[in-house]
Amino acid sequence: MRSADGAQGRGQDRGRFRLTIRARITLSVALLIALGGGVLVVGLNLFMRYGPVWAIQSSPAMPADTLDLGVDSVAPTYPYGDAAEPALPSESLTELSLTVPVLEIRDVTDVFQTLLWSSIIALVVIVALGAVAAWALAGRVLSPLHDINAAARAATPGQLDRRVALRGPRDELTDLSDTLDDMLERLERAFRAQQLFAANASHELRTPLATQKAMLDVLLDGPEPTLAEYRLAAERLREVNARSIEMGEALLDLTRAQIGLAASGGALESLAVEPCEARELAEAALGHASERLAERGLTVDSDVAPHSVRVNPAMFTRLLDNLVGNAARHATAGSRVAIDWRVDGAESVLVVRNAAEPLPAETLDRLHQPFVRGGGRVRADSGSGLGLAIATAVAQAHGGSLAVSSAAQVAPAVSVASVVSATDPGTAEFCVEVRIPLEAPVATLAT
């Protein structure tokens, strides 16, 4: 309802007459020039009227024969013998007609009126020329907005690879262009990631459904099964169904973590965080994975320094469960799993290590992506492929980071003994490091 009302309001706004930005800039500049010129004209006229003392005197014209020039009369002489001017040939005469406007100033009032009207005319001319110059200048300044608008319109139908790439000196428009390009780049990456996620999720959810259908087809299309065969099929169906449920829950957890990351933007103001003891969180995660750890004969070395972290308890518990669960699932049977959690400056650093098969660098770089597994999709107990993706989103939502490494030697940041056995050169140490800030404001919004 609100969005419909907003769209209706925007439609009504567009129906109203509204000047363009270029026209508004031109009008503003013209008004400023008119205002400044008006102040100048009024001030000049007031000064000329009340500032100086005017003493203008006028006298009537006197006849020439009444003027006493102070010299004796001298009879004129004519070089041609008489008073007549010599006649010039008529063809050498050129008739000239010259009209000179006469501005007659007779008193102070004429001075003031002349000054006023000349000032007004000059002001009108200056305002007109200023408006033309402002229109041209505004058009040149605002021309990059057309490129920005074109890129934004092209992104609407899905062309997220379009960029503005505005050139020129750094100013507000180039900053806007760079911001729009960065936004389009992030949207393009997110859109492609969502497409890949949807394709992988469809594949992951289709596999158990196809398995269940194949098992039911064998039961229904084959000879009459025995009670033992029914029971075996039911057990397998239950396992496949449990895997489907686990996949659905993992997808839901990933969505919640991504929503938390989008809401927080890496800042905890939008997450409901509270002080939690690191030791208690680690012990709870180990308790959740104790059965799987015991089944695979894994030994746990836990070294948690006493300190408190500000986290969202539910989200961070899921992060710990995923990291410990991954270590229990993928560690070499009978090996050790090490948990080291301590304070490093202004950060709380959690490191989970286990012995596993070496992984190539290109696989490590993609392990934080959804449905990427170190051992591929062929393993029956390879997990959902979402554990590290969920942990990464949770860490980023808390303003932290997650990094993975795989090496034959212990990670430099870890000061405890390596979990890799010297007698088994075919294994490497797989290390997951999570860093979150210790100091964070208490949030006011719940997830």
d(CA 162, CA 158): 10
Specify which residues 432 forms β-bridges with: 352, 404
Task: Among 114-118, 182-186, 259-263, 349-353, name the one with the lowest average pLDDT.
Answer: 259-263
Q: How confident is the model at residue 65, as a pLDDT?
A: 52
pLDDT classification of 172: cutoffs 50, 70, 90 = confident
The residue ranking higher by pLDDT, 394 or 68, is: 394
311 in helix, strand or coil?
A: strand
Between residues 333 and 444, the one the model is more confident about: 333
Question: Would strands 401-407 and 336-344 be described as parallel, antiparallel, or unpaired?
Answer: unpaired
- Sheet containing strand 336-344, edge to edge, reads 299-304, 336-344, 347-356, 428-437, 401-407
Which is it for strands 299-304 and 336-344: parallel, antiparallel or unpaired? parallel
Kindly list the structural domains of the chain, giving each domain's residue range(s) and its CATH number in brackets, ordered by start. 268-437 (3.30.565.10)
Percent of the chain past pLDDT 70, that is, above it, reads: 67
pLDDT at 222: 79
What local confidence, expressed as pLDDT, does residue 268 receive?
47
pLDDT in tens, 14-37: 556 677 777 888 888 888 888 888
Nearest Cα to Cα of residue 108 among 38, 51, 39, 37? 51
Q: Which stretches of 156-226 are DSSP H helices? A: 172-221
Specify the range with the lowest mean pLDDT, choosing from 20-24, 81-85, 374-378: 374-378
Look at residue 240 in the predicted model and tell me its pLDDT. Answer: 82
- pLDDT of 351 higher than 90: yes
What pLDDT score was predicted for residue 313? 86
| Structure tokens that stand for 243 in this block | 């895997």
Mean pLDDT of 441-446: 35
